[in-house]
Structure 1
Amino acid sequence: MILDFGTARMRATTVAIADPGPLERFLPESGPGSAFIRRGDGVVALGEVARFETDRLDAADVWWDEISNQIDHDSELPGEFGTGPLALGSFIFDPDRSMERSVLTVPQVIIGRRGDLAWMTRLGDARRGTALPSPGEPTRRPGHITQMGGSLRRGEWERIVAEVVTLIRSGEVDKVVLARDLHLKADGPLDLRHIYGRLLETYPMTWAYLIDGLVGATPELLLRRQGGLVTSRVLAGTVWQDGSGAVDPLALAAELARSEKDMSEHAFAVRSVADALAPYCRAMNVPDSPSVLRLPNVMHLATDVTGVVEPGATSLALAAALHPSAAVCGTPTHLAMDIIAEVETIDRGRYAGPVGWVDMDGDGEWAIALRGGQVRPESPESIQLFAGAGIVADSTPSVEVQETAAKFVPMLQALGVAPS
């Protein structure tokens, strides 16, 4: 589905503003509103002047190029990264097997901040001036929430993990990322702004996203294209704390860095990203060994792959080339994708797909939609959470299900539900 402003040209104005305070406070309780924020920096988008629903990232890239060429932009901040008209979107994990659609929208108003710089971009009616929109209504905490369980029982999911381990050990595939879900239902419509605010407060180091009913806080940046440079943060290999505080975090980090299973899983993911970016880059830097990224409830092996981008490769085009990486799918990609479709039993929808924004120059930030959940318009009181784990030859089913349980924690905390 395409909704846009046809062939008519549209004017956009970007102005510098005083610090607006927490960006998320401008999100409306009802009506279109999106956000992509990390450590207080990012954008909140209000209203919608154009919308594109699709199956493919490359189709969205073509659409945004056509739309952005119809916008005349006046800016007080020319050349500043992320300012001006944007398209924000989230994309389904597997376009060949999902009943859902990817979405890319062009907002009417954007309020942004990066470091000491704050701005507002408005598309359309210039008579509205430079006054900031009023903050949204106070957020509502969820009422009583019932955990409805997942599409599969824990034992059933462990059995599937064991089957996939057998396939890997037989040499059919090197790695497969398997996901499971958890359904929760409140006694009234969920206010996603409240969930989003809790995620921002508890997990400031992540990229928190809220787009078209999809909400979460992901530690994994699929890519940032800024000028002629691209960066992709690869996370694969995980260890988690049990909440008792009995284990020294430094000891856990050392355990992760020594784990052959986790190092192997991470190497697959790094190689898949480097191979996907190589055709679009003049030069690349791939570190020889990962670092350890510590989050409040888990630690990950992390590698930042960087490259000098060839002209014309937009952030959406790069996202199309990178997705799905081994970190969320497996290796080899086509075999892992087939296995996921055969055994996983759930429609991931936009979970584990790219989520973020692109500007008129093709720069942008796209994360991977992890540590999140989906609320659908037909059931605003219900949310489906997702979590996954990378399965390799040394994987143990009971340990993998514990890893997914640890990855459910951020969303359960945000909902005010005690992890089980």
Structure 2
Amino acid sequence: MNNDLNDPDIRPLWQAVADRLESGADAASIKTLRVALNQAGRARLTGWLATSLRGRRLKEQNGLLTVPVPKLLEALGMNEEHLHTFVENLIGISDNAQIRRDTEQARRHLWEYAAKLLPDTPRLVAGLRTAGVSKESIGTVTERVEALARARTLLPLRRPVHLARLALTCAGDPHYFDLAEPGNGARLVHMTSEILNQPIPDTPLAERLLLAKVGIYAERLSQTVLVLNIDAVGDSVTDEVIRAAKAARRPHHLSLYDLTENPPTLANHERWQIVENPSVLEEAMIRRPDAPIVCTRGAFAAVDHALLFLARAQGVPMSYSGDLDRGGRTAAHAAHRYGADIHLMDDATEHDAIGAGPLMTWPQNVPVVAHPSQVPSTHGGGLTVFQEHPALLDRLLGPDPEDPLHPSRLTQHSR
């Protein structure tokens, strides 16, 4: 009989038993098994069960036999304990059930530990718990809880410090609480909102303003927005710098610090043209239009929100124009929330740019780029129309007869 039990053709049956045991079941609870066997294995199994089957066939569905385990054990003269020992010796069984029990206990200890370290921020702890924790991530989440607990004992700070200093002190890594992924800044923001009993911020600017209330300064100097020809009428240092840059017809970087610590009073007699790409502002410096131009990021940062918030509050009329792709339209939607009109981003503009044909047709022995770009569009298929396209630049900034890359120069003659 022992040789029969070790028959390779019947091994899938024992593997099925092992799988059930590894899933946490005990041998006594296994009443049936569904298993695929070859012809030799089926013959072996049918021989064992011949007495109990009494000429009947085992049930089969989709190639899987349903095996009655109690009758099988009776036929083999085994009990549940013998089955467990036999399969463990033949196949090997990982004690996943014990692993799961140990993991669940570790989770329980983690959340008890978190509640003890962060007693006045239960919503934060609940959010950490909702995010889930695996056996592998328990150590990482524990470190996160401990870093937040250290920060909690310091907040609000006696005087402001930079976010990186707080992160180094609390976690040994100046980037630990970075507000961009994969940093843990979002958890710090949630904790701060709970400490101050305020809603969780819904924009990057609101996050940084909230942290500032407990003495944490984040990216006030590293975040800037590029402007050209905008004007200001107030008395702050920032107003003076804006006026000086306008008089010199030079671009200027406004920092988040400028806009939150020394906010300017903006002139509102001219419409701002907001663009997505610094290359457009560079072209404006060459073509020298008088209109104010602001260059925000493709994905708005806190400093972009800060400037547009001020502009809206002070009645500055604005238009936004970006690349004709998903990112550009997302940014346009964000600008529209601050009252900006959407300019040169409609279907007609896209159709005109595509219909204008290739930007360059020479040299003759080089294939022509027949479309406005070679970059697939992320909005509705086709190819992306970028702001750098001459048709868009001419309408944004006015035509330049000296433009060396205008299609009128590059599609009518060759070198």
Assess same fold via TM > 0.5. Answer: no
Higher helix residue share: 2
Structure label with greater radius of gyration: 2
Which structure has more relative contact order (CA 8 Å, sep 6+)? It is 1
Please give the range of the TM-score, normalised by the shorter of the 2 chains.
under 0.3
TM-score normalized with structure 1 length:
0.19
Higher strand residue share: 1
